[in-house]
Structure 1
Amino acid sequence: MSDGEWKDARGWRWFLAEFVVVAAGVLAALVAQQVAENLHEHRVSREARETIFAELNVNVTNVTRRLALDACVTDRLAEIDTVLNEAEKSGKLPPMNLPASVPYYATFGRRWEAATAGGRTVLLSPDEQRAFARLYQWFERLDALQQEQRDAWTRLYTLRLRKTLSPEMLYDQQAALTEAIVAERSIVDQIKQTQFYAASIGIKGDAKLFDAPSGPASGPVSQKPICQQIRAAPPAGEPRT
């Protein structure tokens, strides 16, 4: 091999060595970047999952508390039904101390909405996305049912101020009572379905919640206004007509 050929060979070997070093460096950088991105996505998806789980757990806890009041709500609606049946015959109403409203246990979806808007839910598995979305839809339905019942109860609440009912007023009260009863049945069915499905994905409904002294969840169930019989004189200062 001549001196020129030897130098050309050495030059090619040097070039190839440099190329391999550069390629290895670029490949290592790409791998490191991919690892970093994977770790970041894993952390973001874990945080989104934990945040959504916590919010769903609070929701399940709240609706479980609402379910515990079903017997009381059903008893009060049955009492009102008896009163209206008697009023249909006599035209008169007894003194009543109706609670101002039925208990309303709110559910929340802000964390789910924030995670979805921020694109973090797409990092969850398709099964998780479907399961979480289904539960939030059911909670929205429960909120709507509770509001429907509260609206019906607002109409029933006026009974405490009445001594008599016209046929038209009686008809309206009976319609409101039917709406409240149907809503209660739907609320109970929806809560039980939600509890069962939530439990199947590991949501127990055991959140430790702070209860305000005057909040709907404070005190024993038996002491709540909705659990007290309605045949009693309303508070002083409320004239009946």
Structure 2
Amino acid sequence: MPVATTHRRELMIWWVSVVSAGGDLVGDDLTGDGDLADADGWPAGLRVAGEALAREAARYASLGWMRATSGNLSIVLCRAPLRLAVTVSGLDKSELRAGDVAVVDAAGAARPVRPARRPSAEAALHARLAEAAGAQAVVHVHTIASVWAAERWPGGVELEGLEMLKALGRGADGDRVRIPVVDNSQDMIDLGDRIVALRDPRTPAILIARHGLYAWGDDLGAARRHTEAVQWLLEWALANG
């Protein structure tokens, strides 16, 4: 069984066990007590999520897309209430460990999980995308191509006639695809509102001017595929536009 599928199965078993018991995935259920804890005292299901996020972060870091501790990744843990596991702030993304994740709520605020981890303020944007787009996983990277493209086409990057568009679930012929661009802001509520308002429901990605890109999907594999496809498309547009 593929590793990604195994991790998803383990997470699902964990979610069902907690939710069926009326748990909130936070507080006592994530303190390392009882059957939910692994041998190191870390919540077992959260460790599975952390391992997957660390592996993906290392992949993006190797491409130079998460330099200087930038960027963040997330997985939805449950939706009632919404909880996400998000990579922590301020660490080299090529060196993350399974425990380098925070659990956040729908506002991007850290939940009381021990040991405590500090999420980026951008965790709020991951939560907004999980709600608005139904994303199960969100990738945020700082690629040069995404910054250049947003600068060159502030009204959005339009693409058509490219085979790579199929990786976004769009057509290679007769389908004009627009990747929206949103002006950056340090106000996460304002930025989240504009991301939700401007995103195209048919395109699982958006660019933040002078910042980077967000892409999302039904799992980390789909989010990675969308991220890689958008990066390729932006590089093509910049080389040919």
Shared topology, TM-score over 0.5?
A: no
Q: As a proportion of its length, which structure holds more strand?
A: 2
Q: Which has the higher contact order (CA 8 A, sep 6+)?
A: 1
TM-score by length of 2: 0.24
> Greater CA radius of gyration, 1 or 2?
1
TM-score by length of 1: 0.24
Q: As a proportion of its length, which structure holds more helix?
A: 1
